[in-house]
Amino acid sequence: MKRTSPSVARTTLGTRQLEELIEEAIVDAYGESEQRVGFLTMLKDKLAFPFEIEILGAPAIVEGVDLNDAEDIVAICRRDKHRQMVPILNLPLPSPRPVGWEWIEAYRRWARGR
């Protein structure tokens, strides 16, 4: 079941909105590792899974998110019987955006701003 946000036309967030999401994700977190886990928790709770994306011209389904061995947040993507983890930082977002897409953008801003 594909769920999209009610404001599908809105695909960007302002700096203040992103900063508020970042603060919500990392409140009570000490250090980078705990902050990343805060984002992982928000993504698991707020992002509507599954949702469809296109990777390298092929359709795939994002089934969830997790941490890889390097402690990067990755999307768990599936196409037919194949499964691959794609870093959230590199994940192409579909149009319309899934519910909770703003948490991906907040994580990207946080990760690139460290």
Tens of pLDDT, residues 3-32: 444 444 456 789 999 999 999 999 999 999
In a domain, 9, yes or no: no
In a domain, 40, yes or no: yes
**Number of structural domains the chain divides into:** 1
Instruction: Give dist(CA 109, CA 18) in Å, integer.
Output: 8
In a domain, 91, yes or no: yes
Q: CB-based contacts of 59: which residues, under 8 Å, 6+ apart?
A: 52, 53, 79
pLDDT of residue 114: 58
Q: What residue ranges of the chain have pLDDT lower than 70? A: 1-11, 114
pLDDT of residue 7: 41
pLDDT of residue 10: 54
In a domain, 1, yes or no: no
pLDDT of residue 3: 47
pLDDT of residue 12: 76
Q: Dihedral, CA atoms, 45, 96, 113, 65, nearest 10 degrees?
A: 40
- Say what the pTM is: 0.86
Residue-range definition of the domain harbouring residue 96:
15-113
